[in-house]
Structure 1
Amino acid sequence: MKLTRSTLTLALLAAAAAPAAQAEIPIDVIAGSEVSFEGLVQADFYKFDSDTIDYGADSATDLDGDDYLQELRRAELVLKGKGPGNIEWVLGYDAKDDKFLDANIKYKIGGNANHFLQIGQFKQPGATLEELSSTKNNDFISKSSITNSIGTPRRVGLQYNIGDANWGVTASFFGRELTRNREHGGGYSARGYWAPINSAGSILHLGINYTDKDTDGDVIRLRARPMADMVPTRFVDTGSSGLRAADRNNVLGLEAMWVNGPFKLQGEYMTTDVKRYGNFEDFTGDGYYVSGLWNITGETWGYKAGVPTTPLPDDPTKGLWQLGLRYDTIDLTDGAVVGGEMDSITAGVNWYWRSNFKFMLNYVAVKQEKGALNDDPNILEARMQFYW
């Protein structure tokens, strides 16, 4: 859905003026389950200083020559239930992307939130730390290139988790994505994490994750957007025919995070291997990011289930202000496969106002190389967000 500039502006002003609402709006108790409702609406605007590619195109084939994009990014609607007993469930849908989000049932063993079985669609443990964190609290408008290009998103499967407040081990078996014509290919995924330091305003997190999956159709395509989520064109790309004769794909990830009062330093590395048969050589690609955040209004982060949690502003009328800087890189060239390389630097400012509104402004400098070709766009990005 492409919005006009005036329509988008009016929608965002309406969201900004809306009165503060409470998270997880209670609905009713149905069959012993306390049912609540959540929502997340995001609208993005990108202004490109393009190099060789029309990144403002409506699609990869509909080139319009514009140097900007503006569109609704997410429109997530989520029902949640607690009970009966130790059961929790969730059913989420993104009306913008026309796909199911988390849709699963969890059983807390012995009532312990850190010891459970889960069945349905959920984020795989082999996803990145930032992918497992709450979408509404993203540090930057675009997630890292490894998250968007290498990590495995939500799939339907069965998961087991054990741990406590300072450590956890999770393993899952999964199949396809719930929404039709989306991701396919069964496999397994696991993650382990440990927080040797975990107290108020002081956190040290270390983690490792691994995913192995069938490519489903013996082909896999790896590609990366230039740090702008809605851009249809990718310069860094292993090709429209993908990596042919691909049997299985595995991903190994390392993650670390350090919180000291209002400062957070976070980094992740991922390497992906595609096992190929016949006369085709195996393929290896990798990437990483390092980011730093400063809450200039003094708030600090929490920690739950191996991911950081962003607090509400200490002063709701002034809001929570953040400054952020990230370096991101990905390399999808290996041997005869020239997918390209991308390096980017993102500088950003975030403003959480009251308990339901967020504004983000990023400036991204991107450098891409693919064989003898180069493309180096700079992008000004803005996001308006309303959530409850």
Structure 2
Amino acid sequence: MKTRYSLLTAAVLFTLANTASAQYTIDVIGGSEVTLEGLVQADSYWYNDDFRVLSSDPVDGTDSDFGMRRAELILKGKGPGMWNWVIGYDARSDKFLDNNISYRFNGQTSVFVGQYKQPNSLEELSSTKNNDFISKAMTTNMQGVARRMGAKIDTDYGNWGGTVSYFGNEITNNESPSLGSGQGYGLRGYFAPIKTDTSILHLGLSYIDMEARDSFDKGTARLRVRPNADAANQRLIDTGTFNDADRLKTTGFEAAYVDGPLKIQAEYMTTKVSRNLNPGFTGDSWYVYGVYNLTGESSGYRGGVFSTPLPNDPAKGMWQLGLRYDTADLNDGSVNFANPASPVVTGVMGGEESNWTVGVNWYWRSNFKFSANYVMVDSSRYSSSIKNFQDDNPEIFEFRAQLFW
């Protein structure tokens, strides 16, 4: 615990002392140029609860959460030659981030070995420090496979490319992932038929096929998601645990369009869970959002992923307005109310949820970002205790202060 907060303090102090650059060059060691990057995020949440208490400490009766969200330190090495490496650690979550070594064969193709993000979510693959909203969409948080140990091949020809990956578990396995922790493989391809300095049209397709396993190598799986608030104690929709799960297969579709300061982005994912003793389960979700840079900057694009530019005027910063709609459906069954006193449930009724998020971001100079989001939640899930559907429609206000270099 002391080590974690010592690293956190070091990260904050280092960031404050080096706010003039995006990264800090340490030295050249063995032909490798070593740089240090960091990310510190502090979040605040205020809940207007409806049915369930969302606060992470519901016992104390508060309707808010405050705390550090991330405290990341990342060492990167460029060279010697076509070799590159990265070592990343999050002191707040006590977990390892990207930790891999890569080799670039030519201008288009690279091989990675180690831990890295898997190729199945446009939003997940984007840099965390530049997320357009404080919480990623339910689609990303529930069905995106983040960092895993494995090996992959990346190819990027500018306006098209793809990734093939084979992976196992995370280095740090300190919580049970919703999508299990077994071995699997992933594929992703993208195409940008329009790609200029200010106009981009992106289309993508991804597929993940993996074992449904927990840390004890048992066949389990569970899909659930928080209501667009990372600190919330509750998941309003939840399939419950499948103790007879075999494999999970997730197919994703991506689309995005940039026209100068405007970016529109959307993703759809469907996940199928095959089970040994019960019928399989299928759940899906999607989101669409728009972000507009009031100060005129335009998004960048590389490797099938969008990047956020620095402000045109560092002193005034870059202002963004965003609006997102995301929805998830974890119902794969039905309820027969022929006998209201004893409804008959068939299949899995994990619930449905749809959220609206309104957001504003201010990127100030090269190292600071401040964000505010307002989330309106509309969820419904069958409850065996009341023998009917239970609606839960809270509202959430969120604020984030961020330092990065």
Determine if contact 1:206/1:256 at 8 Å carries over to the other structure: yes
The structure-2 alpha-carbon separation of the partners of 1:303 and 1:50, relative to structure 1 and needing over 3 Å to count, comes to same
Alignment of 1:184-263 (within 5 A): 184-216=181-213, 217-239=218-240, 242-263=241-262
Deviation at 1:56, TM superposition (A): 1.4
Q: Which residue of 2 aligns with 1:158?
A: 151
Deviation at 1:375, TM superposition (A): 0.7
1:198-252: CA deviation from partner (whole Å, max 9, x where unpaired): 111100000000000000121101101010011122121112xx02211000000
CA distance in 1: counterparts of 2:117 and 2:46, whole angstroms: 31
Q: Which residue of 1 aligns with 2:310?
A: 312
Query: Does 1:86 find its partner at 2:82?
Result: yes
Deviation at 1:14, TM superposition (A): 8.8
Secondary structure at the counterpart of residue 76 of structure 2: strand
- The one-letter code sitting in structure 2 at the alignment partner of 1:37 is L
Determine if contact 1:56/1:64 at 8 Å carries over to the other structure: no
Corresponding residue to 1:72 among 68, 75, 85: 68
CA distance in 2: counterparts of 1:159 and 1:17, whole angstroms: 36
Q: Which residue of 2 aligns with 1:387?
A: 404
The number of aligned residues is 369
CA distance in 2: counterparts of 1:330 and 1:316, whole angstroms: 38
Determine if contact 1:56/1:231 at 8 Å carries over to the other structure: yes
Determine if contact 1:57/1:64 at 8 Å carries over to the other structure: no
Secondary structure at the counterpart of residue 131 of structure 1: helix
Determine if contact 1:363/1:380 at 8 Å carries over to the other structure: yes
CA distance in 1: counterparts of 2:111 and 2:205, whole angstroms: 21
- The one-letter code sitting in structure 2 at the alignment partner of 1:236 is I
Q: Which residue of 1 aligns with 2:362?
A: 351
Deviation at 1:17, TM superposition (A): 7.3
So what's the TM-score if we normalise by structure 1? Answer: 0.92
- The one-letter code sitting in structure 2 at the alignment partner of 1:382 is F
Determine if contact 1:248/1:275 at 8 Å carries over to the other structure: yes
Secondary structure at the counterpart of residue 60 of structure 2: coil
- The one-letter code sitting in structure 1 at the alignment partner of 2:189 is G
Secondary structure at the counterpart of residue 59 of structure 2: coil
Query: Does 1:120 find its partner at 2:118?
Result: no
Unaligned runs of 5+ in 1: 2-10
Deviation at 1:277, TM superposition (A): 1.4
Secondary structure at the counterpart of residue 244 of structure 1: coil
So what's the TM-score if we normalise by structure 2? Answer: 0.88
CA distance in 2: counterparts of 1:168 and 1:374, whole angstroms: 43
Deviation at 1:63, TM superposition (A): 2.4
CA distance in 1: counterparts of 2:305 and 2:148, whole angstroms: 20
Secondary structure at the counterpart of residue 26 of structure 2: strand
Determine if contact 2:324/2:356 at 8 Å carries over to the other structure: yes
1:105-143: CA deviation from partner (whole Å, max 9, x where unpaired): 010003x2x3111000000012x1010001000000000
1:336-371: CA deviation from partner (whole Å, max 9, x where unpaired): 211111100000000000000000000000011002
Alignment of 1:129-140 (within 5 A): 129-140=122-133
Q: Which residue of 1 aligns with 2:337?
A: none
- The one-letter code sitting in structure 1 at the alignment partner of 2:173 is R
Secondary structure at the counterpart of residue 57 of structure 1: coil
Q: Which residue of 1 aligns with 2:377?
A: 366
1:70-118: CA deviation from partner (whole Å, max 9, x where unpaired): 11000000000001110010000000000000000010003x2x31110
Determine if contact 1:322/1:349 at 8 Å carries over to the other structure: yes
Secondary structure at the counterpart of residue 401 of structure 2: strand
Deviation at 1:151, TM superposition (A): 1.3
Secondary structure at the counterpart of residue 20 of structure 1: coil
Determine if contact 2:56/2:231 at 8 Å carries over to the other structure: no
The structure-2 alpha-carbon separation of the partners of 1:37 and 1:14, relative to structure 1 and needing over 3 Å to count, comes to closer
CA distance in 1: counterparts of 2:392 and 2:32, whole angstroms: 53
Determine if contact 2:36/2:74 at 8 Å carries over to the other structure: yes
CA distance in 2: counterparts of 1:291 and 1:14, whole angstroms: 35
Deviation at 1:18, TM superposition (A): 6.1
Q: Which residue of 1 aligns with 2:43?
A: 44
Q: Which residue of 1 aligns with 2:295?
A: 297
CA distance in 2: counterparts of 1:14 and 1:28, whole angstroms: 20
- The one-letter code sitting in structure 2 at the alignment partner of 1:301 is S
Query: Does 1:105 find its partner at 2:101?
Result: yes
CA distance in 1: counterparts of 2:173 and 2:282, whole angstroms: 29
Determine if contact 1:15/1:386 at 8 Å carries over to the other structure: no
Unaligned runs of 5+ in 2: 2-9, 334-346, 383-388
Determine if contact 1:54/1:66 at 8 Å carries over to the other structure: no
